[in-house]
Structure 1
């Protein structure tokens, strides 16, 4: 298997079932108007993705990814960094 690659420009939130921190990340992205793709890191189809994150030293969900940024857990300042990076890349889509 190969690691799942988000489409160009996608924010991807790697989640697991019944994860409160995952819900908090998704809520923060939604409140900021940032679209995202959700993927269950515990699904068998994502075993290579899970192995990738374990090699990076990440041991819990969620993991929020965007263009080389990978944020483990719910760290508001780091999620805001993802939001700002997405907005910088999508200025025409950001509502005033």
Structure 2
């Protein structure tokens, strides 16, 4: 499973009652209030424990959490930068 699929599945299950049809990779999830600021921190915790990565506080920004694609790009960048080190 790709990071994009993992993120999409989690958002759909937790905040969208399983309705995956209305979530595209570029859907502005924060602008549409699919996820609020508390939800972002829940998602960060999930990603850190599920993918065993560390997401620095300075990376938790509206830009990095605006869409599934943006979150997946952040995760992929952090995974490469950590060289596989667990959080």
Structure of greater Rg: 1
- By relative contact order (CA 8 Å, sep 6+), the higher-ranking structure is 2
Bigger fraction of residues in helix: 2
Give me the TM-score of the superposition, normalised by structure 1: 0.36
Give me the TM-score of the superposition, normalised by structure 2: 0.38
Bigger fraction of residues in strand: 1
